């Protein structure tokens, strides 16, 4: 039996997060004063590959079409000591 990554465990724990078709989520995280290490980014890449369209738009911002991935990524960042906030993206015609 293979060992599951922290990303996979957190993704499974977020299974009750209802998906909203056509919706995007923006996760912002801040590792103020600490460095998360490479495992954080490895797990974040694993989450990004699990479901939906997901992109790291800068070092501390993740955009995803999956509410479940957003919740799992939020919990992953918090696990490594980050302050986190998730926003529901609302489009505007500016």
| Residues constituting the chain | 94
Give domain status of residue 94, yes or no: no
Give domain status of residue 1, yes or no: no
Give domain status of residue 60, yes or no: yes
pLDDT of residue 19: 82
> What integer best gives the mean pLDDT of the chain?
90
Give domain status of residue 46, yes or no: yes
**C-alpha triplet 75, 76, 79: angle, nearest 5°:** 85
* Nearest to 66, CA basis, from 9, 16, 25: 25
Q: What is the 3-state secondary structure (H, E, C) of 23-63?
A: CEEEEEEECCCCCCCHHHHHHHHHHHHHCCCEEEEECCEEE
How many domains does the chain divide into? Answer: 1
How high is the mean pLDDT in each 10-residue block of the chain (94 residues)?
A: 88 87 93 90 91 87 94 96 95 68
Q: 29: which strand partners?
A: 84
pLDDT of residue 2: 82
Query: What's the whole-model pTM score?
Result: 0.88
**Whole domain around residue 68: which residue ranges?**
6-89
CATH classification at residue 72? 3.30.70
Give domain status of residue 68, yes or no: yes
pLDDT of residue 18: 84
């Amino acid at each position: 039996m293979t060992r599951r990554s922290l990303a996979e465990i957190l993704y499974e724990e977020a299974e009750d997060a209802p998906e909203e078709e056509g919706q995007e989520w923006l996760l912002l995280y801040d590792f103020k004063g600490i460095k998360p290490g490479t495992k954080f980014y490895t797990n974040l890449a694993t989450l990004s590959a699990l479901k939906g369209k997901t992109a790291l738009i800068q070092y501390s911002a993740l955009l995803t079409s999956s509410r479940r991935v957003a919740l799992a990524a939020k919990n992953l960042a918090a696990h490594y000591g980050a302050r986190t906030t998730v926003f529901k993206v609302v489009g505007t015609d500016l």
